[in-house]
Amino acid sequence: MAVCSICGKKAVVGNQISHSNIKTKRQWRPNLQRVKAIVNGTRQRIYVCTRCLRSGKVQRAL
């Protein structure tokens, strides 16, 4: 579910490192928005990252 329908961007995992150098797992999630968009000529609700929205890769439906 946390995947951009346009570019395929998804969560990235890594380590959170404390001041005492203790490492625990964490995630960086993309900023996904649920928008109504025109997909193959029909109106659908899809999850799109804000970079794809800002760059105009998505034709929004009103």
Residue 38 lies in a domain: yes
**Per-residue pLDDT tens for 41-62?**
999 999 999 999 999 999 999 8
Provide the domain count of the chain.
Answer: 1
Residue 42 lies in a domain: yes
Structure tokens at 53: 């929205």
Structure tokens at 18: 């404390």
What distances in angstroms separate CA 43 from CA 23, 34, 40, 47, 55, one per listed residue? 44, 13, 8, 13, 20
Residue 62 lies in a domain: no
- Residue 20: phi, psi to the nearest 5? -90, 15
Which neighbouring-strand residues pair with 3?
A: 10
**Per-residue pLDDT tens for 11-22?**
999 999 999 999
pTM score, whole prediction:
0.81
Integer Cα distance of 45 and 41 in angstroms: 13
> What range does the domain containing 51 cover?
12-55
Residue 3 lies in a domain: no
Residue 4 lies in a domain: no
